A and B are shown apart, each in its own frame.
Chain A
């Protein structure tokens, strides 16, 4: 019941990501998604009463809800370019595509993976949909940050998927992954600054000097 609601909200926030037209909006949507991810893990940990899972969801809260969005916002503030995210595909069509991707991930879950119909598998569908949508963001958004966020969304989705179908990876692995995400974001920040300094924009669709 509750879990259903949480997952629903998770998906909705993912769709919000799709229709976001400005970078700040995108970041906000991402934070929202992370929040629901946090809620989900919290629910799980309450259910299982395992300290490890509490630690994990604390990490989710700290990292994905607080730190990373802050970092992203800081980047947007630092590079004082226009806010526009630069959509290669407009929101309406993007939504359609997102729907299609969601359906695809449904097919994937039940035909390819052959999972049994259950709340867990529904959650898995949601996570796959989120992953593919994150992917779609990377493909269809011009600005570098769009791609970064897309990747982070995929990360979230995969985290969700892991905890859904396997009931959470080993604690140590989770920690390592979080650490990795953090490093990734930091390094990407550096590169975004470099790109902005050299190109005076962060529009990756204009970076096409290396061909063939």
Chain B
């Protein structure tokens, strides 16, 4: 008999409170943004959106505060379902329905694995409560624990969009309305991270080190793949989606290191790593939410532009959005003194101290992770120079971009509410890092040690001050001492006729060096066709270049086509002939009788 009754419905510990606050930080501004975004929509749509949004956010809150496996699972599913509804919200596009289906099916596949893991835990715990599970987990046989880890990891990774389970993410995020994608990408995928922390660090503790290693490796791959894909994408929101994959990778570097070190009994180091991971988690929530909101306001104010090839020069019609996007971009490409910098910097410090405190192979592992982090940072910076530059700077590449208007007030308010913390969490790191550290220590348990992050208390703030001061000094010098005289003139055009938007550097061109260098992974290919009005005269020349989505092409599509082919074969078994059907009955009968008599 199954024991569904739980003594522990809810759970409030620093971790859950941390995640609750993350949810609040992102979803409230998104809601405010949405009120502006939906201006002029029908009342019915507004109603449905707000209802679904509410369900979505509250289900996330419940997942985080759930005190037993059952309610965790239920609200997890609810979260998926409501987010699916929000993805297919504008079902007039064929695309969003398809994206929604991909998303839901992938999630369900992940959830199936998760279910298996949870039910195995239940079998051993005899109850769904976390407490009972925590007790039982210590006594479980090793291979069962490993099975639970692998299954649940697949489940969480699918939700978090870890490579190679990220396939749904670049479909679902761009298709959902921006205020939704900001919550999905800012918070929902973090809920999976919550699951990992809760299970691997808290419930199943002590986790063997190799779990951490697995997480780290997946993190590394997500970092690189996410960054590279983000560089290639042309759709603004797709860039953001892929960069979510990348940032999830960075977060996993922290979490994985935490699991790794707690497995090797280095409590202090684990705490540092977890702290860095959590810090980057909240940072990513902030700036990714902000960026999605900005892209949303671009999308709405330009009348549905998402392709960067058609944007450009938007900084003039919509300066405020541009400013906020710039802040977000600086944050995400880890530029001091904004928040992204702090968390990546802390992660580097973690790897450094890990290097000094451990020996042999681990050293190499740490160095590798550090270098991957560095490379990712560089790529991310390139990606967001591209994103901001091509979207907001230079000359508009299309009519829509010319006729863009500035976002309305509540949209601005929503963006501002996310932009301000991006700065605060950077400059105010001295106040925030210790809080994170306490949280991570309380998660890990064990003895309390003062954190050994160097100069986190002062440095970011100092940098901010010095930058500001120097900037001011320079400004004053330029303005009043040197008294610069400026003549406005055309851009230098090598003496040819005047340049226009068609001679600008395009996003695709910007990404070309990377496309060539990472060709082994992106497998770029080009389609070119001559449009000729006679045999002799080519009137136009069409040229496209694409990159291959490796995981989609070589992993998912074969599986799907295999299953489909099998199903089609099965279909032949039912050709509509009644004689055959009757024969099936007889055969079943004979086989069963034979089986029962013989065995």
Contacts and interface: CB of A to CB of B under 8 A. Distances in A.
State if A and B touch, Cβ cutoff 8 Å. yes
Interface of A: 88, 104, 108, 111-112, 132, 135, 138-140, 147, 204-205, 207-212
A14 to B, nearest CB: 17
B185 to A, nearest CB: 41
A205 B575 CA distance: 11
Given A211-B574, A212-B571, A138 B579 contact: yes
B440 to A, nearest CB: 56
A138 B582 contact: yes
Interface string B551-571: 000000000000000000001
B597 A112 contact: yes
Contact of A135 (B571, B578, B582, B597): B582
A49 B55 CA distance: 78
Given A205-B577, A210-B576, A139 B582 contact: yes
B586 A212 contact: no
Interface string B578-590: 1100110010001
A88 B579 contact: yes
A139 B576 contact: no
Contacts of B596: 112
Interface of B: 571, 574-579, 582-583, 586, 590, 593, 596-597
Given A210-B576, A212-B576, 5 more contacts: A111-B597, A139-B583, A207-B578, A208-B575, A209-B576
Contacts of B590: 104
A139 B586 contact: yes
A125 to B, nearest CB: 15
Contacts of A111: 597
The secondary-structure label for the interface of chain A is helix
Contacts of B577: 205, 208
Contacts of A140: 579
Most buried by A among B571, B574, B577: B577
B597 A204 contact: no
B579 A205 contact: yes
Nearest to B593: A112
B576 A208 contact: yes
A204 B578 CA distance: 7
A212 B576 CA distance: 7
A135 B597 CA distance: 22
A137 B593 CA distance: 21
Nearest to A142: B579
22 contacts: A108-B593, A111-B597, A112-B593, A112-B596, A112-B597, A132-B586, A135-B582, A138-B579, A138-B582, A139-B579, A139-B583, A139-B586, A204-B578, A205-B579, A207-B576, A209-B576, A211-B571, A211-B574, A211-B575, A212-B571, A212-B574, A212-B575
B571 to A, nearest CB: 4
A111 B597 CA distance: 7
Given A111-B597, A112-B593, A211 B576 contact: yes
A104 B597 CA distance: 13
Most chain B CB atoms below 10 A, which of A88, A209, A212: A212
A147 B579 CA distance: 9
Nearest to A208: B576
B60 to A, nearest CB: 41
A204 B579 CA distance: 8
Contacts of A147: 578
A135 B588 CA distance: 14
A13 B596 CA distance: 32
Contacts of A88: 579
Contacts of A209: 576
Nearest to B573: A212
Question: Which 8 pairs of residues, A with B, have the shortest CB-CB distance?
Answer: A208-B576, A211-B576, A212-B571, A112-B597, A139-B579, A139-B583, A212-B574, A210-B576
B478 to A, nearest CB: 77
A62 to B, nearest CB: 29
Contacts of B579: 88, 138-140, 204-205
A18 B582 CA distance: 17
A112 B583 CA distance: 21
Contacts of B593: 108, 112
A204 B574 CA distance: 15
Contacts of B582: 135, 138-139
Nearest to A138: B582
Among B576, B579, B583, B597, max chain A CB count under 10 A is at B579
Nearest to A88: B579
A104 B587 CA distance: 13
A142 to B, nearest CB: 8
Nearest to A151: B582
A204 B571 CA distance: 20
Contacts of B574: 211-212
A112 B592 CA distance: 11
Contacts of B578: 147, 204-205, 207
A46 to B, nearest CB: 35
A44 B576 CA distance: 44
Contacts of A138: 579, 582
A104 B591 CA distance: 12
Nearest to A211: B576
A75 B470 CA distance: 106
A79 B590 CA distance: 36
A140 B596 CA distance: 27
Contacts of B583: 139
A111 B582 CA distance: 25
Contacts of A210: 576
Nearest to B580: A139
Residue of B575, B576, B578, B596 most packed against chain A (CB within 10 A): B578
A7 to B, nearest CB: 23
A212 B575 CA distance: 6
A135 B575 contact: no
Contacts of A104: 590
A210 B597 CA distance: 37
A132 B587 CA distance: 12
A108 B592 CA distance: 12
A8 to B, nearest CB: 26
A135 B574 CA distance: 20
B307 to A, nearest CB: 41
Nearest to B597: A112
Nearest to A140: B579
Nearest to B567: A212
A148 to B, nearest CB: 12
Nearest to B571: A212
A209 to B, nearest CB: 7
Nearest to A135: B586
A150 B596 CA distance: 27
Contacts of B597: 111-112
A131 to B, nearest CB: 11
A210 B576 CA distance: 5
B570 to A, nearest CB: 9
A104 B576 CA distance: 28
